[in-house]
Amino acid sequence: MGQGSYGSVCSAIHKPTQKKVAIKKMDGVFDDEIDCKRILREIDLLRKLNHPYVINILEVIEPANTETFDTLYVVLELAESDLKKVIKSAIHLQIKHIQTVVYNLLCAVKYLHSANVLHRDLKPANVLVNEDCSVKICDFGLARSISGLESATCII
């Protein structure tokens, strides 16, 4: 489905739920200390965040050998596209669609800020979009938690 700084993403069927999911494969997770910290920070944040417009982590697949593994697989919700692809496509969005996407995106950002999380890489490619104009903010590799997630509130 795509390639990013920290790995590649493909679609699959999640056996426990029989739903389509995205699987993010990250190779060489311990090759670079900074990259390793970003990957672990992203997983930690996603496990704590809970909002309809923020990508949901379903599971981290346990490595077969915890002593020698260097590839990590993270199972995430699947979205139909991302905002970058929608903008570049020939699809003509009506004003109502644009308003819905922007509103959903603002709700997600408000939630993140209420949780004291700064995304730091918010761009169209990191905003997943579904046909119903719902959004999912993804790619929290550069995100930072300012103080913690205990005070997070879900306001839609």
State residue 89 phi and psi, 5-degree precision: -80, 175
Does residue 27 have an active-site annotation?
no
Q: Which of 45, 54, 42, 44 is nearest to 6 (CA)?
A: 42
**Whole-number Cα distances in Å, 150 to 17, 38, 75, 108:** 29, 21, 24, 17
**Whole-number Cα distances in Å, 63 to 24, 44, 69, 140:** 14, 17, 6, 22
Q: Which of 44, 82, 121, 139 is catalytic?
A: 121
> What does the DSSP 8-state code read for residue 54?
B
Residues carrying an active site annotation: 121
